[in-house]
Amino acid sequence: MQNYNEILNHHLAEQIAIEEHLSAKIEQALGEIREESFVDVKDLLSNIREVLGANYTLLNKAMDKLYEDPEPVEQKAPNGTLTNGKLHEQEKSLERKKGKISKMLREIYSDLSMIAVANTQLHTVGLAYNNDDVAELALRQLENLAALVVKVGEIVPEILTRELMIDEPEIDLAIAQKALANTRMIWKF
């Protein structure tokens, strides 16, 4: 049987990996969305990037603490630096591709939800093995992520409606508010 630190380490490593995956998606999206359009989406993605960057640092510290390793493990945190020069070369406008931004938000919503569930698992493992530091860290991160999941879910109807209006300007932006109200009613938030 694995010792408690190995099990906790495994869950921390998984958490770091899925958050790194989403961080890469966020960076790509931020590089592809033009500044003057969909500023609200860029602001939300920047907020998610900040939370993930802070989480990354705390998760690595928790991992180091498990083994009381005096030498820090050198890792590169998500920092907003695009390593793929192609993103700068392409300068393609996602706004002209109908549904592209709303689809990207749907994927980010899904990834954030997965990270939230992973935090619930990490919290449970921390409690099971009496590691209050890990349990509390996961719970704090879950609280931050839950708010972001809701924000992404709430912005999708407006973004999709705005995308649809690019090619069909007769669509009423009020549709977004109706869709959001209906969604809130179902989810009861």
The pLDDT of residue 86 is 29
pLDDT of the chain along its 189 residues, tens only? 457 788 888 889 989 998 999 999 999 989 888 767 788 999 999 999 999 999 999 999 998 888 774 444 344 444 433 222 322 222 234 444 556 898 899 999 999 999 999 999 999 999 999 999 999 999 999 999 999 999 999 999 999 999 888 888 899 999 999 999 999 999 875
Q: Is residue 82 part of a domain?
A: no
Q: How far is CA 150 from CA 33, 96, 146, in A?
A: 21, 26, 6
Q: Is residue 78 part of a domain?
A: no
Q: Is residue 16 part of a domain?
A: yes
Give CA–CA dist 56/64, Å, rounded.
12
Tally helices (H) and strands (E) across the chain: 6, 0
The pLDDT of residue 35 is 63
Is pTM beyond 0.85? Reply is no
Q: Is residue 77 part of a domain?
A: no
Q: Is residue 24 part of a domain?
A: yes
The pLDDT of residue 83 is 27
* CATH label of the domain that carries residue 94: 1.20.1260.10
> Which residue range(s) make up the domain with 161?
4-72+88-187
Q: Is residue 59 part of a domain?
A: yes
Q: How many domains does the chain have?
A: 1
Give CA–CA dist 58/23, Å, rounded.
15
